[in-house]
Amino acid sequence: MSMARKNSLFSFRSLLIVAWIMCGILVLPALVAIPVSLTPKRFLSLPSGELSLQHYATLFTSDLWVGSAWQSLVIATSSMVLATGLGTFCAVGLWRVSSRFSELLRVVLLLPLIIPPIISAMAFYRTWVKLELIDTYAGMIVAHAILSSPMVMISVSAALANFDVRLEQASRNLGASVTTTLWRVIIPAIKPGIFSGAIFAFILSWDETVVALFISKFDVYTLPRRMWDGIRENTDPAVAAAAVVTISITLIAMLLAFWISKRSARHLESA
Amino acid sequence: MQIGRQTYGYWLMTAPLFVVVVSLYGWPILSILWLSVSEPAPGLRNFAKLFEDNGLLHLIWTTVRVCLITTVLSVTAGYLIAYVMNFALEGQRRWLMAILLLSFWISVLVRAFAWLTLLSRNGVLNNFLVGAGLIDEPITFVRNELGVLIGMVHYMIPYAALPLFTNMHGIDGRIASASRSLGAGPFTTFWRIFLPMTRPGIVAASSLVFIISLGFYVTPAILGGGKVLMIAEYVSVQILVTQKWGVASMLATLMLMGVFGVLLVLSRFMKLSEAFGAR
């Protein structure tokens, strides 16, 4: 094998180096936000020499930024809870009923993932105007929950695929109702899938921009929406500080998801 | 009857999400499609504009061109990464996978902002190049099609690499070894054996990337700087600024037809749940 590799046009080692460089390019550019956020100047620039935390001070004291971050947090958390609840129940239901109709159902429920966000935004905008949900927390929460429910469905369905159906049957045969079986047998077993689905739902809402641009205006102004304004005006380094905060939250959420999946893998091995 | 009673509870569990999605999402989407043939007057007037208005054709051509280039470049780059991951040692593979997933989840807005900071005329890269005396004038990387392509390819590479890796991982490694021991060189083995076996992965990755690219809004709007107008941004101006729902919904209908057209072609090659569900 090593002889053969020497004969090849590109050695595997050089391919490996190229792949690492590409992966570096995938994540490193986003990190430029860190030095820019520490600049002492009032415009977007790299700091030369001294560093300053003034833009973080702006971020954490300005009513506009703090208000937006708080709204984003409330909306992301609420839509996560809603999407996780609805998505989990639905995934468990679909798992036990299988027919042509349930396959069709699955496809319909994955639509929010497949349809381009701009079209979803148009649809929400027009309907939310009629329902007077424009520029309200409820409107944003429901829209984000609908968009993130497929994530929960996929994650929970993957967990269910590894769950032994006979445990469910045993529980039912021993006289437990669907409800008892659900809470005492199924949900404990698929917890990791539910949690990681919930985390994906949270990140999706926390970062969501396009739908927010359509269905929020004055009262509701999420963090991505405020960052969008800042980037288009291209002046305020507070945007860089906001970007750093956003990346940190994504990173924490990802590490959490990773930790959960690792723990459940260990749990499976020991069981 | 017994079976019916047993599954009744489970059917009921699917109902809440189904009702919410159909009434607050499916129905609104259908009403947008309906608008394309009913607003401002019933008929195909909105679609006829495609043949009268060169601006609209230009818009569609720009979008399709950018999406095609994005697809080719990001699937090529994703293929290389997936290939290396497939043959790398376990430790390296895990790290590469972690990086792919991380970049998968970094906000599209943050990434567009980062590229703007790095590549604009007085951005980090130009300042460095001018400062080092390598160039006299700053290079225009962004606020043009190049900027849009950089941003979009960068965003789409993980979407291409992940399905490709899943596909490659399912291929029996002994087949390549057999080809080598029968005397084929590494290049022949790759070209005649490995590449054809990864065709399903390439088809799935290309379709996925193309579909997602079609609807891109944030990246072209920020990195195109108004000079590269793609369908999504045009639609948003039509609705939020001029309130012209007819043309906007016509373009949305075309976009959806494009998306489902690609999915239909894809479904002839493989089960859609396999193409996307594996992730």
pLDDT, residue A10, reads 63
Distance in Å, alpha carbon of B201 to nearest chain A alpha carbon: 18
In chain B, residues with a C-beta closer than 8 Å to the C-beta of A112 are: 21, 25
pLDDT, residue A270, reads 67
- Between CA B71 and CA B207 the distance in angstroms is 8
Instruction: Tell whether the model's pLDDT for residue B1 goes beyond 50.
Output: no
Predicted ipTM? Answer: 0.90
Q: Which residue of A has its CA nearest to B11?
A: A93
- Between CA A244 and CA A55 the distance in angstroms is 11
Tens of pLDDT, residue by residue over B105-143, are: 899 999 999 999 899 888 888 888 998 888 888 888 998
Say if the Cβ atoms of B186 and A127 lie within 8 Å.
no
pTM for the whole structure: 0.90
In chain B, residues with a C-beta closer than 8 Å to the C-beta of A224 are: 107, 109
Say if the Cβ atoms of A29 and B28 lie within 8 Å.
no
pLDDT tier for residue B97 given thresholds of 50, 70 and 90: very high
B83 — contact with chain A (CB < 8 Å)? yes
Distance in Å, alpha carbon of A29 to nearest chain B alpha carbon: 6
C-alpha distance across the termini of chain A, in Å: 39
pLDDT, residue A2, reads 41
Distance in Å, alpha carbon of B177 to nearest chain A alpha carbon: 9
Say if the Cβ atoms of A19 and B255 lie within 8 Å.
no
Phi-psi region at A109: left, alpha or beta (left = phi > 0; alpha = psi -120 to 50): alpha
Which of 1.10.150.240, 3.40.50.720, 3.90.1300.10, 1.10.3720.10 would CATH assign to domain A59-270? Answer: 1.10.3720.10
B209 — contact with chain A (CB < 8 Å)? no
pLDDT, residue A5, reads 44
Say if the Cβ atoms of A116 and B214 lie within 8 Å.
yes
Nearest-10 crossing angle of helices A63-96, A238-270: 30
Q: Which residue of B has its CA nearest to A216?
A: B240
Give pLDDT tens digits along chain A (271 positions): 443 444 445 678 889 999 999 999 999 999 988 988 898 887 777 888 788 888 898 889 989 999 999 999 999 999 999 999 999 999 999 988 877 777 788 888 999 999 999 999 999 999 999 999 999 999 999 999 999 999 999 999 999 988 888 888 898 889 888 888 889 999 999 999 999 999 999 999 999 999 999 999 889 999 999 999 988 876 678 899 999 999 999 889 989 988 888 887 777 666 5
- Between CA B244 and CA B48 the distance in angstroms is 16
CA dihedral (B95, B97, B100, B104) positive or negative: negative
H-run or E-run covering A90 = helix A63-96
Distance in Å, alpha carbon of B114 to nearest chain A alpha carbon: 5
Write the residue in B21, B92, B217 that is nearest to A149 by C-beta.
Answer: B21
In chain B, residues with a C-beta closer than 8 Å to the C-beta of A232 are: 222
